Amino acid sequence: MIFMILGRSKEFILKLPIWTQIITYIAILVYALSFFGISTGVLSLSWIGLLQKRQLYEIITYVTLHLSMLHIVFNFVSLLPAMSQFEKKQGTLACILVTVIPYTLFPGIMHLIVYHFFLRKDYVSIAGLSGWAFAFISASCVHSPQRLISFFNLFSIPAYCFPIIYLIMTTILVPKASFIGHASGAVMGYCTPFMLGSIPLKSWAQNVDPIFQSWVKNYHSFDQLSHAQLPIAEPLSTFSSFPGKGTRLGG
């Protein structure tokens, strides 16, 4: 049974677009390292770590760290469908740009600001990919804002409201969920069309895509038609009923 699950999981991951696939493997590797006595907590993001200890890598690495099997599984269930759909439609380059810069930096910076200047808790850390999950889900909802989404088959809501309802329910139902990280991710998702529209993505892709598309499997090139319909060309049919824990370390 276990080998069958592992086999199907491997098959699923290998079919993902390359950047989504890379992020998946990195998160799994980081989680696996903890079983060998390697301290991975240093990858989390906190004011003390980043600014007092000058561990600058934290502003990027915190998204790769998860605290439990449930944490990483729930985040994968929420993130991978939305992220892979985005990468297929907008291209690998666009997906890399939004994840490395706004989807990672903005939630991290907001966490630092709120916990240092308002809550006075410099030791509280943030970790996990749930901020990305909210970002990609929000980005998908911007595409068809009036589209109705069934919420647990109980009632339907406009797509643009879904991330907000999702955020509220996660905050209430999930212990230690990072409201700041989730909300910041959702904001960046809503802003995705404006961010990609403000950069010369087409010209960048024309230079980069031919280099990688020929030898990198599952690399997706920029599609001008899809880009004109930002943030994705086709709406997601379903969303996960659980967005992931977004657990904060030390809180």
Write the pLDDT tens digit of every residue in 200-220.
999 999 999 999 998 999 999
Q: How far is CA 16 from CA 56, 81, 196, in A?
A: 30, 9, 22
This model's pTM is above 0.85: yes
- Low-confidence residues of the chain: pLDDT under 50: 231-251
69 vs 136: CA distance, rounded Å = 22
Closest CA to 208 of 108, 45, 129, 97: 97
The structural architecture, per CATH, of the domain 2-227 is Up-down Bundle (1.20)
- Catalytically active residues are 130, 182
Give the pair of three-digit tokens for residue 8.
Answer: 């199907």
Q: How far is CA 212 from the centre of its chain?
A: 23
Position 233 scores a pLDDT of 37
- Spell out the domain ranges in the chain: 2-227
Position 245 scores a pLDDT of 44
Position 227 scores a pLDDT of 57
99 vs 83: CA distance, rounded Å = 10
Position 224 scores a pLDDT of 60
Position 2 scores a pLDDT of 75
Q: Yes or no: say if 93 and 213 are a contact pair by the CB < 8 Å rule.
A: no
Alpha helices in the chain (DSSP H): 2-14, 18-33, 47, 58-61, 69-90, 92-100, 102-113, 130-143, 162-173, 179-197, 201-213, 224-227
